[in-house]
Amino acid sequence: MSRRAVATLAGRLPQVSAAAQAALGGVRQASSTAHPAVEPDVLAHLSDTGLLRTQCYVGGQWIDASDGATLEVLDPSTGRSIARVPRCGANETRAAIAGAVAQFEPWAARPAKERSALLRRWYDAVVGARDDITRLMTLESGKPLAESRGEFDNGVASIEWFAEEAKRTCGDVLESPDRHRRFMVLKQPVGVVGAITPWNFPFSMITRKVSPALAAGCTVVLKPSELTPLTALALAELAERAGLPGGVLSVLTGDAPAIGDAMLKSEEVRKIGFTGSTAVGKQLAAGAAGTVKRVSLELGGNAPFIVFEDADLEKAATAVVASSHRNSGQTCICTNRVLVHERVHDAFVATLTAKVSALRLGSGLEQGVTQGPLISAAAVDRLEEKVADALSKGAVVAVGGQRPKWDAGHSLAGGFFYEPTVLTGARPDMRMFREELFGPVTPVYSFSSDDEAVQLANDTQYGLACYFYTKDLSRAWRVAERLQYGMVGINEVAITSEVAPFGGVKQSGLGREQSKYGLAEFQDIKTVCLGLY
Ligand code: ADP
């Protein structure tokens, strides 16, 4: 631990409730902050090595798994192990829930202004750690540093925005239909929240769940992806430094089904906030039904990007690259299908191919690299299968279409890379028309009328984000209304912001994150009726 971190923590005892202490009885508490579980060259990337935690934060205590089991964290650009974190399960989850339950009433009872001030202190601590956190994000997810910084700025804005919004909650006083009763509507926190987050945004998927939950007065048990736990644990470290009471936010790494199951079975966890695959989202929704928990689900997408014949082709091609190749294509709002009007098809493909050819593959820590690896070897295998399926049905590779051919001795030879790719001649009978690619592959389809474009765009079980480029205002409005998606980008692909609701329709999910609508997901409405004598 750095001297800065030691100084910050010195003299402050962890605030742990008796309930969490009791529940922690069977769980090994960490006795040291040394880093036996981290590769030394990882520490060299950080100026504040105290941010690299390899224990879980449960009820205000740093703990190991009760049986000492650990999980390896890999650097996807080399395939090498960089750290080990606890493989927690049901026991540790129950302890975290007990801590969250014990802290719920006192946390919810605090004036919103006080919760807001603590969130703001967390925000300040996180902003101060920007360089280290973005390096951790790149190390464990592989994304280029510039993308980590973009995600950081986006994600930290959620903490700030919800810290402010915490103070603006207001209910209603309703006009009564009679003389003897008065009606009011109170907004109250839903209770303990189980948050489950994915690896593709190791930072912002956490802040957009935890910040509104804490702002609303909920307490949170967070399970980050087992593939990217280090960013999440750094956020817990910073929450502790900011003075968030232990138990208000717990962070557990480990066995996803065991942790998820313990959350689902608990009567006291009143809400699940999840971002991840549609398959797991469905399981969680089914499991939540057993105790009638609220759920917010942000699931898969299959975003179309329509290029109409009047579009600015240069701008549209730049936007397709940004949207399709961001995070190596591994986001749920990444363009998955480019639909181009037949009259501009060839010109557009030429511009797009030139831009994709200019992308630079490599380690996310290296200056000038625009595209990192995929998250795992299995992800590359899955992508290859979908490309092979498309090629067997007539698609043609305009650029890429394979793994890079590094020399055996190349430092990235063990990494999970795939070349930035454009495929032409894509058709709806190919798997990639219906399935998320989750990789740096841009398939181009062609259409001949607005009706056909809208029909193709809507021909999917998903409904998260969609995009189109046109200069015709009437077409823009008509098409935006007809697209069956939760979010529509017109001449724009940077559609996310802390102020705007994020979420999907159809099998892309339930509920919204970000914005006042995201805060409402963590609030129950209570009707109070006062009888007048
Ligand atoms: P992806 O395919 O993008 O990795 P997943 O849905 O598998 O998406 O993972 C998203 C999050 O859900 C991760 O934190 C993962 O550990 C978690 N998860 C996976 N399976 C389960 C489960 N059965 N119960 C609870 N969480 C799960």
Residue with tokens 């339950």: 101
Residues 400 and 471 in one domain: yes
Residues in the chain with pLDDT values less than 50 = 1-17, 20, 26, 29-34
User: In testing the pocket of ligand 1, which one of 280, 295, 332, 381 has its CB within 8 Å of the most ligand atoms?
Assistant: 280
The predicted structure's pLDDT at residue 23: 52
Residue nearest (by alpha carbon) to ligand 1 atom 22: 257
Residues 288 and 162 in one domain: yes
Name residues contacting ligand 1 (CB within 6 A).
Answer: 196-198, 223, 225-226, 256-257, 260, 276-277, 280, 283
Which CATH number is 225's domain given? Answer: 3.40.605.10
> By residue range, what is the domain housing residue 433?
303-497
441 phi, psi to nearest 5 deg: -125, 130
Residues 311 and 286 in one domain: no
Residues 312 and 354 in one domain: yes
402 CA distance to ligand 1 middle (Å): 28
- Domain assignment of residue 367, yes or no: yes
- From 92, 298, 436, 498, the catalytic residue: 298
Residue with tokens 């956190």: 133
Which CATH number is 432's domain given? Answer: 3.40.309.10
34 CA distance to ligand 1 middle (Å): 30
Q: Which residues contact 368 (CB under 8 A, 6 or more apart)?
A: 360
The predicted structure's pLDDT at residue 221: 99
280 CA distance to ligand 1 middle (Å): 6
The predicted structure's pLDDT at residue 8: 30
Residues 280 and 322 in one domain: no
User: In testing the pocket of ligand 1, which one of 196, 253, 261, 332 has its CB within 8 Å of the most ligand atoms?
Assistant: 196
Q: Which amino acid is at 216?
A: A
- Domain assignment of residue 311, yes or no: yes
Tell me the DSSP string of 412-429.
TTTS-----EEEES--TT
Integer CA distances (angstroms), 47 to 1, 37, 51, 140, 301, in order: 10, 18, 9, 17, 37
Q: Cα–Cα distance between 68 and 48 in angstroms, integer?
A: 26
Pick the closest to residue 233 from 332, 323, 133 (CA basis): 133
Residues 264 and 135 in one domain: yes
- Domain assignment of residue 11, yes or no: no
- Quick one: which atom of ligand 1 is closest to the CA of 224? 14
Residues 469 and 399 in one domain: yes
N residues, the chain: 533
The predicted structure's pLDDT at residue 443: 98
Tens-place pLDDT, residues 280-329:
999 999 999 999 999 999 999 999 999 999 999 999 999 999 999 999 99
Residues 453 and 307 in one domain: yes
Tens-place pLDDT, residues 326-372:
999 999 999 999 999 999 999 999 999 999 999 999 999 999 999 99
Residues 316 and 226 in one domain: no
- Quick one: which atom of ligand 1 is closest to the CA of 375? 4
The predicted structure's pLDDT at residue 15: 40
Q: What share of the chain is helix, strand, coil (3-state, %, to 5)?
A: 40, 20, 35
Residues 395 and 429 in one domain: yes
277 CA distance to ligand 1 middle (Å): 7
- Quick one: which atom of ligand 1 is closest to the CA of 279? 6
The predicted structure's pLDDT at residue 6: 30
Question: Exposure pattern of 135-163 as b/e (b: 16+ CB <10 Å)?
Answer: bbbbbbbbbbbebbbbbbebbbbbbbbbb
The predicted structure's pLDDT at residue 42: 85
- Domain assignment of residue 396, yes or no: yes
- Domain assignment of residue 9, yes or no: no
- Quick one: which atom of ligand 1 is closest to the CA of 277? 6
Residues 253 and 310 in one domain: no
Residue nearest (by alpha carbon) to ligand 1 atom 27: 256
The predicted structure's pLDDT at residue 211: 98
Residue with tokens 């967390």: 122
40 CA distance to ligand 1 middle (Å): 29
* Mean pLDDT taken over the chain: 94
Is 298 in the active site? yes
Q: Are 223 and 250 in contact (CB under 8 A)?
A: no
For residue 502, give both structure tokens. 């994020």
Q: Are 318 and 442 in contact (CB under 8 A)?
A: no
Residues 288 and 307 in one domain: no
- Domain assignment of residue 177, yes or no: yes
Number of domains composing the chain: 2
